[in-house]
Amino acid sequence: MTRKTPDLHAAYALDSPEESRRLYAQWAEDYDQGFAAREDYMLPLHTARAFATAGGQGPVLDVGAGTGLCGAVLSQFGLGPIDATDISAEMLDRAMTKDIYRDAIVADLNVGIPAPADSYAGIVSSGTFTLGHVGPSALPNLLDVARRGAQFAISINAQHYAEAGFDAAFADLQRDRISDFTLTEVRIYGDLAAGPNKDDTALIALFEKS
């Protein structure tokens, strides 16, 4: 029997870290061409560009780096060094073949990132805070490894933002942990996309660690 290739529907239906590991282990080899290219996946470009435009600098941690789509754009902008973290070792293996990253860190963002405090001057995440994936409770774990004044660019699926309570989470963080918070809405996919999610949008949260 032929195993079905993972798709966006399966990714949005994930319910546990172990399910995430299994799905992305199967999807790693085909992700760039079978999903990103076919669906004209533009979110990594939007997120990296927002980070660079905001004055982001390295060292940068690419959170939920996957196969390195966002990291590749960061590298084109001359930003670095860049480290990658993801729950999937197989996705990171693909990312590391692109010679973008200094290091790869396998981590569950809900548990924490095994890196020293104050390690990074920039934190970028594209496509990780989405349905079936990571909610706002992981945000403090990203702040823990960032330096004071670190620039963040975090994309959040617009539907997930409303459903998962990101509004309240960011309002709480603005009391004493982050500053200069802004939100910009972007299309996740480009004009060539044809799938059922082709018109989906994401919110890119830009802020600094206080």
Antiparallel, parallel or unpaired: β 201-209 and 178-187 = antiparallel
Within-domain flag for 64: yes
Residue 205: which domain range?
11-209
Within-domain flag for 4: no
Within-domain flag for 77: yes
Within-domain flag for 84: yes
For position 16, which CATH number holds? 3.40.50.150
Report the pLDDT value the prediction gives residue 32, as an integer from 0 to 100.
Answer: 53
Within-domain flag for 168: yes
d(CA 105, CA 31): 19
Within-domain flag for 164: yes
Report the pLDDT value the prediction gives residue 175, as an integer from 0 to 100.
Answer: 97
Number of domains in the chain: 1
Length of the chain: 210
The string of pLDDT tens digits covering residues 60-100 is 999 999 999 999 999 999 999 999 999 888 889 999 999 99
Within-domain flag for 6: no
d(CA 29, CA 5): 10
Q: Percent of the chain, pLDDT > 90?
A: 66
Report the pLDDT value the prediction gives residue 134, as an integer from 0 to 100.
Answer: 83
The string of pLDDT tens digits covering residues 125-146 is 998 997 656 899 999 999 999 9
- Yes or no: say if 158 and 127 are a contact pair by the CB < 8 Å rule: no
Report the pLDDT value the prediction gives residue 187, as an integer from 0 to 100.
Answer: 96
Please report, to the nearest 10 degrees, the dihedral formed by the alpha carbons of residues 157, 160, 165, 166 taken in order: -10
- pTM assigned to the model: 0.88
The string of pLDDT tens digits covering residues 141-179 is 999 999 999 999 999 999 889 889 999 999 999 999 999
Degrees, nearest 5: CA angle 208-129-190? 100
Within-domain flag for 1: no
Q: What average pLDDT does the structure give for the chain?
A: 86
Report the pLDDT value the prediction gives residue 162, as an integer from 0 to 100.
Answer: 85
